[in-house]
Amino acid sequence: MNEEQPAETDKYVLPLVVRLERTAPPARTAALETAARAVLTLLGDPRTTRTDGAWHERVRLWEERGIRKVVRRARGAEWRRVQPLEGITLGGEAGEDAGDAEGFENAAQVRVFPPVPLDGWPHELARLQVSGTELSDPAPPPPPAAGTPLLWLHPELRMSAGKAMAQAGHGAQLAWWDLTAADRAAWQEAGFPLAVRPARDAAHWRELVGSGRPVVEDAGFTEIAPGPTVAVEWHWPR
């Protein structure tokens, strides 16, 4: 077998890295929303969607074998070291695919990488911290604009920011899968507008879960017990 050819039983994981500078950490909601958009951007990238794309086969295998996502954090030199690895950076004033510190002021930046084997992380990513990423919102996030696709978080679950970012990414991916090709293209052209918010209360959450909309069911590998974590509410014109 070719050394670059994936084994039939390999499990894959989608790595995401959030930039977490000591003096300017991102707001929690901004980080969750940026992670969700990063996942969508990778799913809609020609390197994924084209059958001859560089990421197509890895994404296909990852989707077939479980869409596990792991969020790690980086700052300073750590963040700069991961920029040469193939991937996409979203958010921050530096813009997509930029990793400079200049102009970075309390904005969320997330770099998403194509799936890697669960036991085959690149060294630059494997060395980064994964647990205990905590963020907060300095003020309550504003109400989403009318028509914005919503990812509702379970209101009673307590998750680290990294875990919640992964869950938001799952929710965005389920929304993507639920759309027609035309709807996907329209969402992508608009820049993947979305909002992540906690459900208002237990009654609202039960209504969401029972509505037939896409719901993320976490496998319970880390932090929380298996069960529903995110419900998708789609408002984009269809």
pTM for the structure as a whole? 0.90
Same domain membership, residue 101 and residue 29: yes
Q: Each residue of 197-237: pLDDT tens digit? A: 999 999 999 999 999 999 999 988 889 999 999 999 987 65
Identify whether the C-beta of residue 13 lies closer than 8 Å to the C-beta of residue 39: no
Q: Which two tokens stand for residue 65?
A: 């074998």
Same domain membership, residue 89 and residue 154: no
Same domain membership, residue 179 and residue 109: no
Kindly state the average pLDDT of the residues 103-108: 58
Identity of residue 41: T
| Of the candidates 113, 114, 94, the residue with the CA atom closest to the CA atom of residue 104 | 94
Res 9: pLDDT: 67
Distance of alpha carbon 97 from the chain centroid: 16
Residue 84 lies in a domain: yes
Q: Which two tokens stand for residue 139?
A: 């003020």
DSSP-derived secondary structure letter, 159: -
CATH of the domain at 64: 3.40.1490
Identify whether the C-beta of residue 95 lies closer than 8 Å to the C-beta of residue 104: no
Residue 145 burial (10 A CB sphere; 0-12, 13-18, 19+): exposed
Same domain membership, residue 101 and residue 66: yes
Identity of residue 117: P
Residue range of the domain that includes 77: 12-126
Identify whether the C-beta of residue 228 lies closer than 8 Å to the C-beta of residue 216: yes
| H or E stretch at 166 | helix 161-177
- How far apart CA 48 and CA 193 sit, in angstroms, is 20
- How far apart CA 1 and CA 7 sit, in angstroms, is 9
Average pLDDT over all residues of the chain: 90
Res 131: pLDDT: 80
CA atoms 114, 92, 21, 165: torsion sign? negative
Residue 171 lies in a domain: yes
Q: Which two tokens stand for residue 150?
A: 């919503």
- For the chain, what is the domain count? 2
